[in-house]
A and B are shown apart, each in its own frame.
Chain A
Amino acid sequence: MVREAYHKDLHKLREEILNMGSLVGRAIGDSVLSLKNRDVELAQKVIDMDNEIDALDHSIEENCMRLLALQQPMARDLRLIISVLKMSIDLERMGDLALEIAVITKITANVPPVKPLIDIPRMSEICQDMLMNTMKALENKDVELAKQVAKRDDEVDALFDQIRRELITIMIEDPKKITGAQHLTFVARYLERIGDHITNLCENVVFMVTGERVELN
């Protein structure tokens, strides 16, 4: 094996993006859980976690830049670095969206609930599952899995549509619930955006493995 330090750095980069993925997955899960259980303490944990996610994002950017400047990476190494750099941007945004959900938990914790939460946690579960599989696809260079994951964004979109319509009905029936229902609409919208970001992640996994830019979903 030659250029050992270089390959160690590439390996570290791969680990960093996988860490970031699992951290963001936890932030998404905990943010919706905090909303469902009206758990302000957990919400605060999610908000604090965002600093950790941002720090990882900076570290990844720094490492990519250093590798590009010092090692002139090519072929699969180059594709890995470019994909990781782009994926970290999507993951950072997803972290921000989880933070926004946690903020809504804090705002609404002391107001009576608009409705029992069922579909929003379902959206969250699908997103977490998608994200976990995307990271698996990244780790195993599995193009087929990445494509399958991206397809599931349709489920997320369908749920968003359903939740939005339901909340509109609630708002029409009882204007006192407008503020709370609007908060929930935003949460659903954030989760829908998270699904889109995951699709981008999948596209980058495909690029990393095949060198081709594809539009998934």
Chain B
Amino acid sequence: MQNKITVETLNAWFGTNHALKNINLSFQENRITAIIGPSGCGKSTFIRCLNRMHEVVRGAKVSGKVLVDGKDIYERDIDPVDIRRCIGMVFQKPNPFPTMSIYDNVAAGLKLNGMKDKKILDKTVEESLKKAALWDEVKNDLNKSGVSLSGGQQQRLCIARALAVEPEIILFDEPCSALDPISTSRIEDLMIELKEKYTIVIVTHNMQQAARVSDYTAFFLYGELIEFGETNQIFKKPKEKSTEDYIVGRFG
């Protein structure tokens, strides 16, 4: 299996706060990697560095390399917008565009890129909604507002929106924390289906979720990567004591 993303000595700051310290980590293609750790450990900052979202924050700074297919996304000639197209992101709270219909939510990315061909747009919307396992529920209501859907459906709509621009990598930042258990398991099933075609990184507070869906798990603490390994190993017999203390809930 090939490494899709390789992170080399990544450091990140918010002003003077050194949020990530010398992170070296690789993500395999077509695998799900979960990032776990207590609040403030830098896990969200970390995945936001993977698609150059960190630098959008005022006073934020990054150093080090993030190689996607061997090419550093922080090189000067690279347009962050291209990066974010190739590396999609799904956030904690479902955030469909509130004034747009379901159809327009999914088509938005393509339209922004100048796509006007109605046939291609129709086809992409349908395919993306199918991949996000939402098509059957909304195919007769494509003109309804995106926010008329339930929380779980909205989150799948956001996933469809991310898929529409044909990314290679999808980052999930706590995608299920606002969802009920049924919607959560649908999203989890979906992630497992999606890994056939995409490389997936998920940040989660829910350790059972990390254990259920991911192939690899990375544990972060105080901005450092403490342990990385196969998920099965991490949850059965972690190597580091602090990892074990965190996952059994005896932290501190």
Chain A interfacial positions (CB closer than 8 Å to B): 1-3, 6-7, 72-79, 210-212
What is the minimal beta-carbon distance from B231 to any residue of chain A, in angstroms?
11
Chain B, interface SS category: helix
A-contacting 9-mer, from B161-169, B190-198, B232-240: B232-240
Known contacts being A1-B250, A2-B249, is A75 close to B208, with CB within 8 Å?
Answer: no
What is the minimal beta-carbon distance from A73 to any residue of chain B, in angstroms?
7
- Find the B residue at minimum CB distance from A3: B249
- Residues on B with C-beta less than 8 A from A78 are 235-236
Among B208-245, those with CB < 8 Å from A are 208, 211, 235-238, 243-244
Chain B interfacial positions (CB closer than 8 Å to A): 207-208, 211, 235-238, 243-244, 247-251
Which of B207, B244, B251 is in CB contact (< 8 Å) with A76?
B244
- Residues on A with C-beta less than 8 A from B250 are 1-3, 7
- Residues on A with C-beta less than 8 A from B235 are 74-75, 78
B249→A6 contact, CB < 8 A: yes
- Find the B residue at minimum CB distance from A210: B237
A76→B208 contact, CB < 8 A: no
State the CA gap A64–B248 with chains docked (Å): 16
State the CA gap A74–B231 with chains docked (Å): 12
Report which residue of B237, B247, B251 has the largest number of chain A beta carbons within 10 angstroms of its beta carbon.
B237
B248→A74 contact, CB < 8 A: yes
- Residues on B with C-beta less than 8 A from A79 are 236-237
State the CA gap A75–B249 with chains docked (Å): 10
B251→A75 contact, CB < 8 A: no
State the CA gap A73–B238 with chains docked (Å): 14
State the CA gap A99–B236 with chains docked (Å): 37
5 A-B pairs with least C-beta separation: A211-B237, A3-B249, A77-B248, A75-B244, A74-B247
- Residues on B with C-beta less than 8 A from A212 are 237
Report which residue of A3, A6, A73, A74 has the largest number of chain B beta carbons within 10 angstroms of its beta carbon.
A74
- Residues on B with C-beta less than 8 A from A211 are 236-237
- Residues on A with C-beta less than 8 A from B208 are 72
What is the minimal beta-carbon distance from A151 to any residue of chain B, in angstroms?
24
- Find the B residue at minimum CB distance from A207: B237
Interface pairs (19), CB distance under 8 Å = A1-B250, A2-B249, A2-B250, A3-B249, A6-B249, A72-B208, A73-B248, A74-B207, A74-B235, A75-B235, A75-B244, A75-B247, A76-B248, A77-B248, A78-B235, A78-B236, A79-B236, A79-B237, A211-B236
